Structure 1
């Protein structure tokens, strides 16, 4: 049974992990480069146009945003990483926050890692996969903007990423995704539902 993601609502926004809501229940975090289409994916999955703010300027999500999706279940929008036009000091802060959050949250059940399917597995993506492998956190990758590639090219990208995953994170899974065309929506919701429903 899929959770009803349409009931998702904004809970709170915090600048760092130590200020996050109580660490109980279950939550799934979304991470990815600033231009990977994270907000669009969150909005598409929850069927809400403006749950997560999308902006023409990547890197706007600088806080950790929490959304409630039912009793004691949350989706978490982590700051986008690796966007070129952001000062280095700010990048360092984000990296610290991301790392701290991934390491300390006990209620975290899994990470949805978003990558633009035209530029997958950047150095940052690899770093996040290795972090998650290190703390035993399951990862499911959405290769976003799949509509920008022809079907054959998209399939080849999926195979290429799948081939590299074992050396980075043996438990990670991957799929094609397009917020625009609604490609891969059910698959993504299934993964999320599976993780969030396994409390405790």
Structure 2
């Protein structure tokens, strides 16, 4: 059983000050999931964690603007946190509130010391939109490793899958890019291994050799 299958929800926050709550201020490594609304982020998190409703999407895309934290624990030792960030690409709440959310999320991505890596969800039929590229540019100064999952890959032919994979890898040479399909369970094991590689194991050593970026 994958360690990710033990994920459990622990908190949701909507302001930077709330990150000092117990359970969120222990210095544990965090892996954040980001992507456009409707890119399949919640579905991918649930599949990786082997739980049907661990993460769930709002019925109104772009409406839910919180950070949801899920704890990963091995026996009695807490190993890290998964963080489900709001989907971007919609502005349903008005300019002022959207501006507040943008500042909150921007500061989390730019300043959160515990953040170890990003899982970027992109619809395989429409990868690297302007918003995706803007996100990558924003986090580039931190040199965070990024795992890009090209979701809904089952909706493409094999030839189309190969083409989009080549194009996206060429555009993101410093990061990992792979096809992913929740329906066909494509890319599940590879994504699981990559995410777990960002968490230390029980004895404190990396689960896999540390990658250089």
TM-score (norm: length of structure 1): 0.90
Counterpart for residue 194 of structure 1: 197
2:153 to 114, 138, 146: 146
Count of aligned positions: 195
- Work out whether 1:105 is the aligned partner of 2:112: yes
Partner secondary structure for residue 177 of structure 2: strand
- Work out whether 1:69 is the aligned partner of 2:72: yes
Q: Note the C-alpha offset of 1:59.
A: 2.4
* Contact 2:79 2:199 survives alignment (8 Å): no
Residues 110-161 of structure 1: per-residue CA shift (max 9 Å, x gap): 0001111111111111011112211121111011111111111011111111
- Work out whether 1:123 is the aligned partner of 2:130: yes
* Contact 2:58 2:64 survives alignment (8 Å): no
- The residue correspondences of 1:31-110 to structure 2 (distance < 5 A) are 31-70=34-73, 71-83=78-90, 85-110=92-117
RMSD: 1.9
Separation of aligned partners in 1, 2:58 and 2:7: 20
Partner secondary structure for residue 9 of structure 2: strand
For structure 1, the residue ranges without an aligned partner over 5 or more in a row are: none
Q: Note the C-alpha offset of 1:87.
A: 3.1
- Work out whether 1:5 is the aligned partner of 2:4: yes
Q: Note the C-alpha offset of 1:197.
A: 2.0
Counterpart for residue 164 of structure 2: 157
Partner secondary structure for residue 153 of structure 1: helix
Say which structure, 1 or 2, has more relative contact order (CA 8 Å, 6+ apart): 1
- Work out whether 1:133 is the aligned partner of 2:147: no
* Contact 1:26 1:107 survives alignment (8 Å): yes
For structure 2, the residue ranges without an aligned partner over 5 or more in a row are: 206-213
Q: Which has the larger radius of gyration?
A: 2
Separation of aligned partners in 1, 2:102 and 2:120: 15
* Contact 1:132 1:139 survives alignment (8 Å): no
